[in-house]
Structure 1
């Protein structure tokens, strides 16, 4: 054992390479804060909301502790709380009763649906203090739960890419006409960004932006969301249109195509298992990058915290910093309001 009291040991000189001591920059909390490379602000977050029909509803979602489905009136109260925390950006998802659904997702374009109604009411109540993004996808509106229109083929039932585009455009137009700032197509149909851009422009909505779910993987981490939005597919899976988890170069191609078609922002989804994709995409585009810290990632941390395995505050902060550090300009996270309210970030 080394005897630290031995004069010979005490007289040893530090090796030459210790002239450089990185620990000097970690000496105190104030110093660490002043040299930190990555910072989180309330305006870095998009807060997701599930909007449903009815009044005075705040339905807890069992698989997403602390998250609810809100009727429009209760949603407005939640937006007030979000604004008090410094949040400005909202991402809206519609949740519909089964009676509203059909094989083609026609309710997606209903101007009186929960999302268009929520947009109009939020715009009246909060004006330009909020930035409203809306998810554009047919899965919550179809009886089969897939993100596009189906067709029979010799190889069985498949998603009809091109027939899905007009339905998606009709949904985007309903949101734009209600007052959305951005529509966010999450369906992963080929060519949908260009199709939506043309439809929006021809209808006079040239100022409405497109946040493209450019890189969306066929992930196991979406389970709680599908419960929340009541949008699980009734058969098969979404591997024929969402990306293969093994592919990275394909992500760069998908993002480049969406940028060329007119996307204003690009998204990577999920976030944590795909930080490498964020980091690889960051130098390839000058557009803002958004990362979706998805429902399964949220639920994992909640479960670990409830089991006493993790310190939730530290784990959430570390997770969100990692996403920002990897290259995200904006983060969609179910933890956003709680993290800000509790001072975790």
Structure 2
């Protein structure tokens, strides 16, 4: 005697009905593409660990963004590689710094929505995200001086707004960073500039390729004293709530795929837009598997982004932006 099912979900999986009942979608307008602007070169430099991406000189930043916009992606985030670095990352907030010049080049010549990454690690000679405690070079357990870093982050945000940024995105996980930046922007007359905070940023093994791309690896020690412990979920709720209270307009989780539970928590506990950063390691490992013939690159990338949207993200910062947008 054979069993006959009374409920048949497969009825809604045929080609005609399947798109009509699909619960989640990814659109080019959901995606933010990264752009690396490099003042140490006068030609484009491929990033070996991130196939398809490259550092571009300042005078090619707008052309690079136009290539992205041709795929349907309208938003970009700008990272900079400066020619000189020092212990306080002064090039990060200099009016003529590489990111400021890159932002101006892009906003003057394109209609892209431009986001500035607000951090110091790419600009400090020690590679940490702020002003260091005394003797930190000798004792890696010493960490970034939190409150002394806040003024610098505000200065970076204001300088990027002056250069033409449409949004700023603090990523240093400094306590109070959103409040300090909001205050700095408002005092400088940029009340209209929104803040997308890296509200839950974990100390992750998935950042390696980015650190090569942006030349931002720590010269010693690591960032566990200010980035979050991957073991902690409840702490993320606290971090996100603090940033929301301080005035964050968009709340970002980084990385994305290993932290989909955190993306869901943020979605369920906040009515603000939620972003997720599909980071360089996530991108690189899919590319590596595809090169081996083990995965289909485009299909796996799309499924990954779909899972991030399904978890609750409204926006996705991803190195797959162009490839997926072209598919869409």
For normalisation by structure 1, the TM-score amounts to 0.91
Question: Does the 8 A contact of 1:120 with 1:179 survive in 2?
Answer: yes
In 2: Cα distance, 1:104 partner to 1:84 partner:
38
Report how many residues are paired.
325
**1:56 deviation in Å?**
4.6
- Secondary structure of the residue aligned to 2:133 is strand
Which residue pairs with 1:137 in the alignment? 119
Name structure 2 gaps, 5 residues minimum.
Answer: none
Which residue pairs with 1:311 in the alignment? 296
Give the 5 Å matches for 1:1-345: 15=4, 18-28=5-15, 30-53=16-39, 56-97=42-83, 100-126=84-110, 129-152=111-134, 157-341=142-326, 343=327, 345=328
In 2: Cα distance, 1:153 partner to 1:236 partner:
13
In 2: Cα distance, 1:195 partner to 1:45 partner:
27
**1:63 deviation in Å?**
1.0
In 2: Cα distance, 1:226 partner to 1:115 partner:
17
1:181-230 C-alpha deviation (Å, 9 max, x unpaired): 11100000100100000010011000111000000000000000001000
Question: Does the 8 A contact of 1:276 with 1:326 survive in 2?
Answer: yes
**1:248 deviation in Å?**
0.3
In 1: Cα distance, 2:70 partner to 2:100 partner:
24
- Secondary structure of the residue aligned to 2:238 is helix
Name structure 1 gaps, 5 residues minimum.
Answer: 1-8
- Secondary structure of the residue aligned to 1:260 is helix
In 2: Cα distance, 1:112 partner to 1:54 partner:
14
- Secondary structure of the residue aligned to 1:47 is strand
In 2: Cα distance, 1:167 partner to 1:291 partner:
25
- Secondary structure of the residue aligned to 1:94 is strand
1:269-303 C-alpha deviation (Å, 9 max, x unpaired): 00010001111221100110000000000000000
**1:153 deviation in Å?**
7.0
Which residue pairs with 1:4 in the alignment? none
**1:158 deviation in Å?**
2.2
In 2: Cα distance, 1:84 partner to 1:66 partner:
16
Which residue pairs with 1:6 in the alignment? none
In 1: Cα distance, 2:40 partner to 2:172 partner:
27
In 2: Cα distance, 1:301 partner to 1:134 partner:
27
1:12-45 C-alpha deviation (Å, 9 max, x unpaired): 6x53xx23211110122x3211111111111000
**Larger Rg: 1 or 2?**
1
- Secondary structure of the residue aligned to 2:168 is strand
